Chains A and B, each alone.
Chain A
Amino acid sequence: DTAVSQTPKYLVTQMGNDKSIKCEQNLGHDTMYWYKQDSKKFLKIMFSYNNKELIINETVPNRFSPKSPDKAHLNLHINSLELGDSAVYFCASSLPGTSVVGGGELFFGEGSRLTVL
């Protein structure tokens, strides 16, 4: 069984369209994330949810809206797609980590490659 699964794996669409990427984890983790990886391989955190509650919302255009129906799912909806949205989007999950004892390693999905034409 795949621990963190994302769908679709590839997405090609026109500018201006709306699209969604789904993520599910079966690890029982409380925290889920969305990361964006651009063509230069930079991995940037977009959102973090803990038990369905938004914890982090980095400087991301409000065209991006995460939705967490339950703690095992975190979906990403993108409105009015732009060329600059082309990237690989990774979902991840983790147990809570602490600064003292560590923990909280991230488990990533295989990524969803979005191409906006």
Chain B
Amino acid sequence: GQQVMQIPQYQHVQEGEDFTTYCNSSTTLSNIQWYKQRPGGHPVFLIQLVKSGEVKKQKRLTFQFGEAKKNSSLHITATQTTDVGTYFCAPLTLANQFYFGTGTSLTVIP
């Protein structure tokens, strides 16, 4: 099955530091969604990006879709302990199905 790489796989940061996860595809993506999964929880939708070069912000979170629509990133400014979890990108395929990236697990050290 299709799989999209995310880097890094794991990230430990001190509270207050910034964090970025990258989602990379070898093919052009139609659009991309981002999800957050807290430890022991289920994935929860964060945002969707559709346009080339699109940038969206949600408080301390900034999401970006690459100009070539082959990559995307999620940046968190000044992390807090509530940001702990695994962040997944989920590109939409031509068959209109979402496949999940490999995920980045974020640990925030207080």
Residues of chain B touching chain A, judged by Cβ–Cβ distance below 8 Å, are: 1, 3, 30-31, 33, 35, 37, 41-45, 48, 50, 86, 88, 90, 92, 94-100, 102-103, 105
Extra pairs beyond A102-B50, A104-B96 (15, CB < 8 Å): A41-B37, A42-B100, A42-B102, A44-B100, A45-B98, A45-B99, A48-B97, A56-B97, A59-B1, A90-B43, A99-B30, A99-B92, A100-B30, A106-B43, A110-B41
Q: Given A99-B30, A106-B35 in contact, is the A45-B45 Cβ separation under 8 Å?
A: no
User: Which label, helix, strand, loop or mixed, suits the secondary structure of the A interface?
Assistant: loop
Chain A residues, CB < 8 A from B31: 97, 99, 102
| A64 cross-chain contacts in B, Cβ below 8 A | none
User: What are 18 A-B pairs at a CB distance below 8 A?
Assistant: A41-B37, A41-B86, A43-B43, A55-B95, A59-B1, A96-B96, A97-B31, A97-B96, A99-B31, A99-B96, A102-B50, A104-B96, A106-B33, A106-B35, A106-B90, A108-B42, A108-B43, A108-B44
